[in-house]
Amino acid sequence: MPAVQTRRLMAAHSSVLRAGFAAGLISLPGLVLAADAGTTPDLPDLFGIPVDFILFGLTLAGVALFHHYTLQVALAGLAVISVYKILLSPFKEGAGAAGFVSHVGHEWVILVNLLCLLMGFALLSRHFEKSRVPAVLPKFLPDDWKGGFVMLVIVFVLSSFLDNIAAAMIGGAMAHTLFKAKVHVGYLAAIVAASNAGGAGSVVGDTTTTMMWIDHVAPLDVLHAYVAAGVALVITAYFASKQQHAYSPILRAAHEHTHVDWTRVGIVAVILVTAIVVNVIVNTRFAEMSDRFPFLGVAVWVAILLTAPLRRPDWELLKEAFRGSVFLLSLVLAASMMPVEKLPAASWQTALGLGFLSAVFDNIPLTALALKQGGYDWGFLAYAVGFGGSMIWFGSSAGVALSNLYPEARSVGTWVKEGWHVTVAYVVGFFVMLAVIGWHPTPKQGVAPTAPPAASAPATTR
Protein backbone atom coordinates (compact mmCIF):
# COMPACT_ATOMS: atom_id res chain seq x y z
CA MET A 1 0.00 0.00 0.00
CA PRO A 2 1.46 3.43 -0.93
CA ALA A 3 2.65 5.63 1.94
CA VAL A 4 -0.03 8.25 1.23
CA GLN A 5 -2.82 5.68 1.58
CA THR A 6 -1.24 4.36 4.76
CA ARG A 7 -1.11 7.84 6.32
CA ARG A 8 -4.74 8.46 5.36
CA LEU A 9 -5.81 5.18 6.91
CA MET A 10 -3.87 6.01 10.08
CA ALA A 11 -5.48 9.42 10.30
CA ALA A 12 -8.95 7.98 9.77
CA HIS A 13 -8.54 5.58 12.66
CA SER A 14 -6.42 7.58 15.14
CA SER A 15 -9.22 9.75 16.51
CA VAL A 16 -11.51 6.73 16.86
CA LEU A 17 -8.84 4.76 18.69
CA ARG A 18 -8.02 7.60 21.09
CA ALA A 19 -11.71 8.04 21.88
CA GLY A 20 -12.13 4.30 22.30
CA PHE A 21 -9.35 3.95 24.82
CA ALA A 22 -10.48 7.02 26.72
CA ALA A 23 -13.93 5.48 26.96
CA GLY A 24 -12.35 2.22 28.03
CA LEU A 25 -10.62 3.85 30.96
CA ILE A 26 -13.78 5.64 32.03
CA SER A 27 -16.04 2.61 31.68
CA LEU A 28 -13.57 0.04 33.02
CA PRO A 29 -15.99 -1.40 35.58
CA GLY A 30 -18.95 -1.36 33.25
CA LEU A 31 -18.25 -4.62 31.45
CA VAL A 32 -17.45 -6.66 34.53
CA LEU A 33 -20.36 -5.37 36.62
CA ALA A 34 -23.04 -5.22 33.93
CA ALA A 35 -24.36 -8.70 34.55
CA ASP A 36 -25.25 -8.18 38.18
CA ALA A 37 -25.24 -4.72 39.64
CA GLY A 38 -26.18 -6.07 43.03
CA THR A 39 -23.28 -8.50 43.35
CA THR A 40 -21.36 -6.32 45.81
CA PRO A 41 -24.05 -4.25 47.55
CA ASP A 42 -22.03 -3.39 50.66
CA LEU A 43 -19.15 -1.68 48.86
CA PRO A 44 -18.88 2.14 48.89
CA ASP A 45 -19.67 3.54 45.47
CA LEU A 46 -19.86 6.78 43.55
CA PHE A 47 -22.68 7.11 41.00
CA GLY A 48 -23.14 3.35 41.22
CA ILE A 49 -19.47 2.55 40.53
CA PRO A 50 -17.46 0.97 43.37
CA VAL A 51 -14.76 3.32 44.62
CA ASP A 52 -12.21 0.52 44.13
CA PHE A 53 -12.69 0.74 40.36
CA ILE A 54 -12.54 4.53 40.39
CA LEU A 55 -9.18 4.43 42.17
CA PHE A 56 -7.86 1.81 39.77
CA GLY A 57 -9.13 3.80 36.77
CA LEU A 58 -7.38 6.92 38.09
CA THR A 59 -4.17 4.92 38.43
CA LEU A 60 -4.39 3.78 34.82
CA ALA A 61 -5.19 7.31 33.68
CA GLY A 62 -2.14 8.55 35.61
CA VAL A 63 0.07 5.99 33.90
CA ALA A 64 -1.30 7.07 30.52
CA LEU A 65 -0.85 10.81 31.19
CA PHE A 66 2.44 10.82 33.11
CA HIS A 67 4.41 8.27 31.13
CA HIS A 68 7.74 9.59 32.44
CA TYR A 69 6.66 8.66 35.96
CA THR A 70 4.88 5.36 35.38
CA LEU A 71 6.55 3.53 38.26
CA GLN A 72 5.80 6.28 40.77
CA VAL A 73 2.18 6.50 39.62
CA ALA A 74 1.70 2.72 39.78
CA LEU A 75 3.20 2.47 43.26
CA ALA A 76 1.16 5.42 44.53
CA GLY A 77 -2.01 3.90 43.07
CA LEU A 78 -1.26 0.53 44.67
CA ALA A 79 -0.64 2.19 48.04
CA VAL A 80 -3.90 4.20 47.93
CA ILE A 81 -5.94 1.18 46.80
CA SER A 82 -4.37 -1.04 49.47
CA VAL A 83 -5.08 1.43 52.28
CA TYR A 84 -8.62 1.96 51.03
CA LYS A 85 -9.28 -1.78 50.82
CA ILE A 86 -7.88 -2.37 54.31
CA LEU A 87 -9.96 0.39 55.87
CA LEU A 88 -13.22 0.39 53.94
CA SER A 89 -13.58 -2.37 51.35
CA PRO A 90 -13.05 -5.99 52.49
CA PHE A 91 -11.03 -8.42 50.43
CA LYS A 92 -12.48 -11.73 49.26
CA GLU A 93 -10.15 -13.36 51.80
CA GLY A 94 -11.34 -11.19 54.69
CA ALA A 95 -11.35 -7.66 56.07
CA GLY A 96 -8.59 -5.37 57.30
CA ALA A 97 -4.85 -6.00 57.43
CA ALA A 98 -5.38 -9.73 57.90
CA GLY A 99 -7.42 -9.83 54.70
CA PHE A 100 -4.67 -7.95 52.86
CA VAL A 101 -2.00 -10.39 54.06
CA SER A 102 -4.18 -13.34 53.04
CA HIS A 103 -4.79 -11.79 49.62
CA VAL A 104 -1.08 -11.22 48.97
CA GLY A 105 -0.46 -14.79 50.14
CA HIS A 106 -2.93 -15.95 47.49
CA GLU A 107 -1.26 -13.88 44.73
CA TRP A 108 2.42 -14.29 45.60
CA VAL A 109 3.12 -17.17 43.21
CA ILE A 110 1.91 -15.20 40.18
CA LEU A 111 3.83 -12.11 41.28
CA VAL A 112 7.11 -13.94 41.90
CA ASN A 113 6.81 -15.87 38.63
CA LEU A 114 6.34 -12.62 36.70
CA LEU A 115 9.24 -10.96 38.50
CA CYS A 116 11.59 -13.87 37.78
CA LEU A 117 10.53 -14.16 34.14
CA LEU A 118 10.72 -10.45 33.35
CA MET A 119 14.20 -10.11 34.84
CA GLY A 120 15.46 -13.48 33.66
CA PHE A 121 14.37 -12.99 30.07
CA ALA A 122 16.04 -9.56 30.05
CA LEU A 123 19.34 -11.37 30.58
CA LEU A 124 18.37 -14.01 28.02
CA SER A 125 17.68 -11.41 25.34
CA ARG A 126 21.12 -9.86 25.89
CA HIS A 127 22.74 -13.29 25.62
CA PHE A 128 20.90 -13.73 22.32
CA GLU A 129 21.97 -10.33 21.01
CA LYS A 130 25.62 -10.95 22.00
CA SER A 131 25.53 -14.34 20.31
CA ARG A 132 25.58 -12.31 17.07
CA VAL A 133 22.80 -14.44 15.57
CA PRO A 134 20.80 -11.25 14.78
CA ALA A 135 23.84 -9.88 12.92
CA VAL A 136 23.86 -12.81 10.49
CA LEU A 137 20.10 -12.75 9.87
CA PRO A 138 20.41 -10.29 6.93
CA LYS A 139 21.87 -13.21 4.96
CA PHE A 140 18.50 -14.91 5.15
CA LEU A 141 15.96 -12.06 5.34
CA PRO A 142 14.67 -9.89 2.46
CA ASP A 143 16.44 -6.52 2.42
CA ASP A 144 13.31 -4.37 2.17
CA TRP A 145 10.16 -4.04 4.31
CA LYS A 146 9.49 -7.74 3.87
CA GLY A 147 12.51 -8.44 6.10
CA GLY A 148 10.69 -6.81 9.02
CA PHE A 149 7.57 -8.77 8.13
CA VAL A 150 9.43 -12.09 8.22
CA MET A 151 11.02 -11.18 11.55
CA LEU A 152 7.58 -10.70 13.09
CA VAL A 153 6.52 -14.09 11.73
CA ILE A 154 9.58 -15.57 13.47
CA VAL A 155 8.48 -13.98 16.76
CA PHE A 156 4.98 -15.41 16.22
CA VAL A 157 6.35 -18.93 15.69
CA LEU A 158 8.71 -18.70 18.68
CA SER A 159 5.85 -17.66 20.94
CA SER A 160 3.83 -20.73 20.02
CA PHE A 161 6.13 -22.85 22.19
CA LEU A 162 8.00 -20.26 24.27
CA ASP A 163 6.62 -17.91 26.87
CA ASN A 164 5.42 -14.75 25.12
CA ILE A 165 7.77 -12.62 27.26
CA ALA A 166 10.77 -14.55 25.95
CA ALA A 167 9.56 -14.29 22.35
CA ALA A 168 9.06 -10.53 22.67
CA MET A 169 12.49 -10.04 24.22
CA ILE A 170 14.19 -12.10 21.51
CA GLY A 171 12.27 -10.07 18.92
CA GLY A 172 13.44 -6.86 20.58
CA ALA A 173 17.05 -8.07 20.50
CA MET A 174 16.79 -8.96 16.80
CA ALA A 175 15.22 -5.59 15.97
CA HIS A 176 17.95 -3.71 17.85
CA THR A 177 20.59 -5.20 15.57
CA LEU A 178 18.65 -5.44 12.30
CA PHE A 179 17.45 -1.83 12.43
CA LYS A 180 20.63 -0.30 13.88
CA ALA A 181 19.01 0.48 17.25
CA LYS A 182 16.36 2.68 15.59
CA VAL A 183 13.07 0.84 16.08
CA HIS A 184 9.74 2.55 15.36
CA VAL A 185 7.20 2.45 18.21
CA GLY A 186 4.65 1.00 15.78
CA TYR A 187 7.05 -1.86 15.11
CA LEU A 188 7.60 -2.38 18.84
CA ALA A 189 3.83 -2.68 19.22
CA ALA A 190 3.88 -5.23 16.41
CA ILE A 191 6.57 -7.29 18.17
CA VAL A 192 4.38 -7.45 21.27
CA ALA A 193 1.33 -8.26 19.14
CA ALA A 194 3.20 -11.04 17.31
CA SER A 195 4.37 -12.58 20.59
CA ASN A 196 0.86 -12.47 22.07
CA ALA A 197 -0.73 -13.75 18.86
CA GLY A 198 1.71 -16.67 18.69
CA GLY A 199 0.80 -17.77 22.20
CA ALA A 200 -2.96 -17.42 21.74
CA GLY A 201 -3.57 -20.87 20.31
CA SER A 202 -1.00 -22.77 22.34
CA VAL A 203 -1.41 -23.94 25.94
CA VAL A 204 2.34 -23.43 26.52
CA GLY A 205 2.59 -20.10 24.72
CA ASP A 206 0.86 -17.78 27.19
CA THR A 207 0.06 -17.67 30.91
CA THR A 208 -3.67 -17.37 30.18
CA THR A 209 -3.80 -20.40 27.88
CA THR A 210 -1.74 -22.39 30.39
CA MET A 211 -4.34 -21.45 33.02
CA MET A 212 -7.03 -22.87 30.73
CA TRP A 213 -5.05 -26.07 30.29
CA ILE A 214 -4.65 -26.46 34.06
CA ASP A 215 -8.40 -25.94 34.42
CA HIS A 216 -9.12 -28.86 32.07
CA VAL A 217 -9.66 -27.01 28.81
CA ALA A 218 -8.46 -29.33 26.06
CA PRO A 219 -5.46 -28.00 24.06
CA LEU A 220 -7.41 -28.50 20.82
CA ASP A 221 -10.19 -26.23 22.13
CA VAL A 222 -7.91 -23.18 22.00
CA LEU A 223 -6.11 -24.13 18.77
CA HIS A 224 -8.57 -22.32 16.49
CA ALA A 225 -7.50 -19.03 18.08
CA TYR A 226 -4.78 -19.14 15.42
CA VAL A 227 -7.41 -18.31 12.79
CA ALA A 228 -7.86 -14.87 14.32
CA ALA A 229 -4.23 -14.60 15.42
CA GLY A 230 -2.94 -15.36 11.92
CA VAL A 231 -5.14 -12.70 10.35
CA ALA A 232 -4.13 -10.20 13.02
CA LEU A 233 -0.44 -11.00 12.50
CA VAL A 234 -0.63 -10.37 8.74
CA ILE A 235 -2.37 -7.01 9.22
CA THR A 236 -0.14 -5.61 11.93
CA ALA A 237 3.07 -7.07 10.42
CA TYR A 238 2.34 -5.47 7.04
CA PHE A 239 1.72 -1.95 8.33
CA ALA A 240 4.39 -2.08 11.04
CA SER A 241 7.02 -3.32 8.60
CA LYS A 242 6.20 -0.46 6.25
CA GLN A 243 6.51 1.99 9.17
CA GLN A 244 9.85 0.53 10.20
CA HIS A 245 11.26 0.50 6.65
CA ALA A 246 10.45 4.19 6.26
CA TYR A 247 11.95 4.97 9.67
CA SER A 248 15.10 2.83 9.58
CA PRO A 249 15.53 0.15 6.89
CA ILE A 250 16.83 -3.30 7.71
CA LEU A 251 20.53 -4.06 7.35
CA ARG A 252 21.10 -5.04 3.74
CA ALA A 253 24.00 -7.40 4.36
CA ALA A 254 25.63 -9.24 7.22
CA HIS A 255 29.13 -8.33 8.27
CA GLU A 256 31.52 -10.57 6.38
CA HIS A 257 33.56 -11.58 9.44
CA THR A 258 30.70 -12.06 11.90
CA HIS A 259 31.10 -15.26 13.91
CA VAL A 260 28.26 -16.66 15.95
CA ASP A 261 29.02 -17.25 19.62
CA TRP A 262 27.60 -20.74 19.85
CA THR A 263 28.20 -20.90 23.59
CA ARG A 264 25.73 -18.05 24.09
CA VAL A 265 23.31 -19.71 21.68
CA GLY A 266 23.57 -22.84 23.81
CA ILE A 267 22.91 -20.82 26.98
CA VAL A 268 19.77 -19.34 25.43
CA ALA A 269 18.64 -22.81 24.38
CA VAL A 270 19.25 -24.26 27.86
CA ILE A 271 17.22 -21.50 29.54
CA LEU A 272 14.34 -21.84 27.10
CA VAL A 273 14.27 -25.65 27.14
CA THR A 274 14.34 -25.60 30.95
CA ALA A 275 11.36 -23.24 31.00
CA ILE A 276 9.39 -25.37 28.53
CA VAL A 277 10.12 -28.67 30.26
CA VAL A 278 9.29 -27.38 33.75
CA ASN A 279 6.11 -25.73 32.46
CA VAL A 280 4.89 -28.94 30.82
CA ILE A 281 5.85 -31.25 33.70
CA VAL A 282 4.32 -29.08 36.41
CA ASN A 283 1.08 -28.53 34.51
CA THR A 284 0.60 -32.14 33.42
CA ARG A 285 1.80 -34.12 36.43
CA PHE A 286 1.66 -31.71 39.36
CA ALA A 287 -1.12 -29.31 38.39
CA GLU A 288 -2.46 -29.21 41.94
CA MET A 289 0.89 -27.77 43.09
CA SER A 290 1.27 -25.19 40.31
CA ASP A 291 -0.25 -22.38 42.38
CA ARG A 292 1.81 -23.12 45.47
CA PHE A 293 5.32 -22.30 44.23
CA PRO A 294 6.77 -20.24 41.33
CA PHE A 295 8.28 -23.24 39.59
CA LEU A 296 8.67 -21.62 36.17
CA GLY A 297 10.40 -18.45 37.36
CA VAL A 298 12.73 -20.33 39.69
CA ALA A 299 13.61 -22.83 36.94
CA VAL A 300 14.62 -20.00 34.60
CA TRP A 301 16.90 -18.51 37.25
CA VAL A 302 18.46 -21.86 38.10
CA ALA A 303 19.35 -22.24 34.41
CA ILE A 304 20.76 -18.68 34.30
CA LEU A 305 22.96 -19.22 37.36
CA LEU A 306 24.19 -22.65 36.24
CA THR A 307 25.25 -21.28 32.84
CA ALA A 308 26.74 -18.03 34.20
CA PRO A 309 30.31 -19.45 34.43
CA LEU A 310 30.26 -20.10 30.67
CA ARG A 311 29.37 -16.51 29.71
CA ARG A 312 28.83 -13.71 32.19
CA PRO A 313 25.25 -12.38 32.01
CA ASP A 314 24.90 -8.59 31.80
CA TRP A 315 23.84 -8.18 35.42
CA GLU A 316 23.73 -4.40 34.87
CA LEU A 317 20.45 -4.86 33.00
CA LEU A 318 18.68 -6.00 36.14
CA LYS A 319 18.33 -2.49 37.61
CA GLU A 320 16.11 -1.24 34.77
CA ALA A 321 14.39 -4.61 34.41
CA PHE A 322 13.54 -4.54 38.11
CA ARG A 323 11.93 -1.10 37.78
CA GLY A 324 9.79 -2.28 34.89
CA SER A 325 8.89 -5.46 36.73
CA VAL A 326 7.81 -3.59 39.87
CA PHE A 327 5.62 -1.38 37.69
CA LEU A 328 3.81 -4.36 36.19
CA LEU A 329 3.52 -6.17 39.52
CA SER A 330 1.98 -3.06 41.08
CA LEU A 331 -0.75 -3.01 38.43
CA VAL A 332 -1.28 -6.78 38.65
CA LEU A 333 -1.65 -6.68 42.44
CA ALA A 334 -3.93 -3.63 42.29
CA ALA A 335 -6.08 -5.31 39.63
CA SER A 336 -6.36 -8.46 41.73
CA MET A 337 -7.97 -6.40 44.52
CA MET A 338 -10.86 -5.22 42.36
CA PRO A 339 -14.28 -6.55 43.44
CA VAL A 340 -14.97 -8.32 40.17
CA GLU A 341 -17.46 -10.97 41.24
CA LYS A 342 -19.13 -11.88 37.96
CA LEU A 343 -18.69 -11.29 34.26
CA PRO A 344 -21.60 -10.71 31.88
CA ALA A 345 -23.09 -13.84 30.34
CA ALA A 346 -20.59 -15.72 28.20
CA SER A 347 -20.97 -14.73 24.55
CA TRP A 348 -18.83 -13.60 21.66
CA GLN A 349 -19.74 -10.00 22.51
CA THR A 350 -18.39 -10.48 26.03
CA ALA A 351 -15.22 -12.10 24.69
CA LEU A 352 -14.70 -9.18 22.28
CA GLY A 353 -15.10 -6.73 25.16
CA LEU A 354 -12.67 -8.66 27.34
CA GLY A 355 -10.01 -8.11 24.69
CA PHE A 356 -10.33 -4.34 25.02
CA LEU A 357 -10.49 -4.64 28.80
CA SER A 358 -7.27 -6.69 28.75
CA ALA A 359 -5.46 -3.68 27.32
CA VAL A 360 -5.85 -1.86 30.65
CA PHE A 361 -6.77 -4.61 33.12
CA ASP A 362 -4.58 -7.59 33.98
CA ASN A 363 -5.76 -10.57 31.94
CA ILE A 364 -4.89 -13.18 34.57
CA PRO A 365 -7.83 -12.44 36.93
CA LEU A 366 -10.11 -11.93 33.91
CA THR A 367 -9.18 -15.38 32.62
CA ALA A 368 -9.66 -16.93 36.06
CA LEU A 369 -13.15 -15.44 36.29
CA ALA A 370 -14.09 -16.60 32.79
CA LEU A 371 -12.90 -20.13 33.61
CA LYS A 372 -14.94 -20.15 36.78
CA GLN A 373 -18.00 -18.90 34.89
CA GLY A 374 -17.66 -21.32 31.94
CA GLY A 375 -19.73 -21.27 28.78
CA TYR A 376 -17.05 -19.75 26.52
CA ASP A 377 -15.60 -20.72 23.22
CA TRP A 378 -12.09 -21.04 24.61
CA GLY A 379 -10.34 -20.18 21.36
CA PHE A 380 -12.14 -16.83 21.25
CA LEU A 381 -11.33 -16.17 24.90
CA ALA A 382 -7.67 -17.11 24.43
CA TYR A 383 -7.32 -14.75 21.46
CA ALA A 384 -9.18 -11.91 23.17
CA VAL A 385 -7.35 -11.87 26.51
CA GLY A 386 -4.01 -12.69 24.86
CA PHE A 387 -3.86 -10.44 21.80
CA GLY A 388 -6.03 -7.73 23.37
CA GLY A 389 -3.28 -6.79 25.80
CA SER A 390 -1.11 -5.69 22.86
CA MET A 391 -3.21 -2.56 22.28
CA ILE A 392 -1.46 -0.64 25.10
CA TRP A 393 2.16 -1.09 26.17
CA PHE A 394 1.35 -2.10 29.75
CA GLY A 395 -1.56 -4.32 28.71
CA SER A 396 0.64 -7.42 28.68
CA SER A 397 3.79 -8.58 30.41
CA ALA A 398 5.46 -8.84 26.99
CA GLY A 399 4.84 -5.14 26.39
CA VAL A 400 6.25 -4.16 29.77
CA ALA A 401 9.31 -6.35 29.22
CA LEU A 402 9.99 -4.84 25.80
CA SER A 403 9.58 -1.31 27.16
CA ASN A 404 12.49 -2.05 29.52
CA LEU A 405 14.65 -2.32 26.39
CA TYR A 406 12.94 0.58 24.60
CA PRO A 407 11.82 3.26 27.12
CA GLU A 408 10.40 5.39 24.28
CA ALA A 409 7.53 2.90 24.11
CA ARG A 410 6.21 3.98 27.53
CA SER A 411 3.64 6.39 26.21
CA VAL A 412 0.05 5.32 25.78
CA GLY A 413 -0.63 8.11 23.30
CA THR A 414 2.37 7.25 21.12
CA TRP A 415 1.68 3.51 21.33
CA VAL A 416 -1.97 3.90 20.30
CA LYS A 417 -1.17 6.43 17.57
CA GLU A 418 1.78 4.62 16.00
CA GLY A 419 0.49 1.12 16.76
CA TRP A 420 -3.04 1.80 15.50
CA HIS A 421 -2.83 -1.31 13.31
CA VAL A 422 -2.80 -3.57 16.40
CA THR A 423 -6.31 -2.48 17.40
CA VAL A 424 -7.57 -2.76 13.83
CA ALA A 425 -5.97 -6.20 13.55
CA TYR A 426 -7.60 -7.34 16.80
CA VAL A 427 -11.10 -6.44 15.62
CA VAL A 428 -10.66 -7.79 12.09
CA GLY A 429 -9.11 -11.04 13.32
CA PHE A 430 -11.91 -11.56 15.82
CA PHE A 431 -14.68 -11.15 13.26
CA VAL A 432 -12.90 -13.28 10.65
CA MET A 433 -12.75 -16.12 13.18
CA LEU A 434 -16.40 -15.55 14.07
CA ALA A 435 -17.38 -15.76 10.39
CA VAL A 436 -15.18 -18.77 9.57
CA ILE A 437 -15.41 -20.85 12.75
CA GLY A 438 -18.49 -19.52 14.53
CA TRP A 439 -19.08 -19.31 18.26
CA HIS A 440 -19.08 -22.82 19.79
CA PRO A 441 -18.97 -22.92 23.60
CA THR A 442 -17.19 -26.05 24.79
CA PRO A 443 -17.35 -27.55 28.30
CA LYS A 444 -14.06 -28.21 30.04
CA GLN A 445 -12.79 -31.80 30.08
CA GLY A 446 -14.55 -33.83 32.73
CA VAL A 447 -17.01 -31.00 33.43
CA ALA A 448 -20.61 -31.52 32.40
CA PRO A 449 -22.22 -28.58 30.60
CA THR A 450 -24.43 -26.49 32.83
CA ALA A 451 -28.13 -26.86 32.10
CA PRO A 452 -29.80 -23.60 31.14
CA PRO A 453 -32.39 -22.10 33.50
CA ALA A 454 -35.96 -23.25 32.87
CA ALA A 455 -37.04 -19.81 31.73
CA SER A 456 -34.28 -19.35 29.20
CA ALA A 457 -34.26 -20.37 25.56
CA PRO A 458 -32.74 -23.76 24.65
CA ALA A 459 -28.99 -23.71 24.07
CA THR A 460 -27.79 -23.92 20.50
CA THR A 461 -26.16 -27.25 19.75
CA ARG A 462 -22.88 -27.51 17.97
Residue 46: beta bridge partners?
A: 49
Mean predicted lDDT score pLDDT of the chain? 82
422-433 exposure pattern, b = at least 16 Cβ within 10 A, e = fewer: bbbbbebbbebb
**Is pLDDT above 90 for 439?**
yes
Report pLDDT digits (tens) over 318-374: 988 898 889 888 888 888 888 766 568 889 999 999 999 888 876 777 787 788 788
Comparing 425 with 139, which gets the higher pLDDT? 425
CA distance linking residue 74 with residue 71, whole number of Å? 5
Rounded mean pLDDT, 173-195: 93
From 219, 121, 114, 214, select the one nearest 162 (Cα to Cα). Answer: 121
**Is pLDDT above 90 for 70?**
no
Rounded mean pLDDT, 248-270: 83
Is residue 244 classed as helix, strand or coil in its secondary structure? helix
Comparing 316 with 284, which gets the higher pLDDT? 316
Please give the pLDDT value at position 198: 94
* 78 within 8 A of 330, measured Cβ to Cβ: yes
**Is pLDDT above 80 for 263?**
yes
Please give the pLDDT value at position 327: 85
Where residue 38 falls among pLDDT bands split at 50, 70, 90?
very low
Q: What is the value of pTM for the model shown?
A: 0.77
CA distance linking residue 199 with residue 211, whole number of Å? 13
Please give the pLDDT value at position 14: 42
Phi, psi of 303 (to 5 degrees): -65, -40
Where residue 194 falls among pLDDT bands split at 50, 70, 90?
very high
Please give the pLDDT value at position 445: 64
**Is pLDDT above 50 for 27?**
no
Rounded mean pLDDT, 283-300: 84
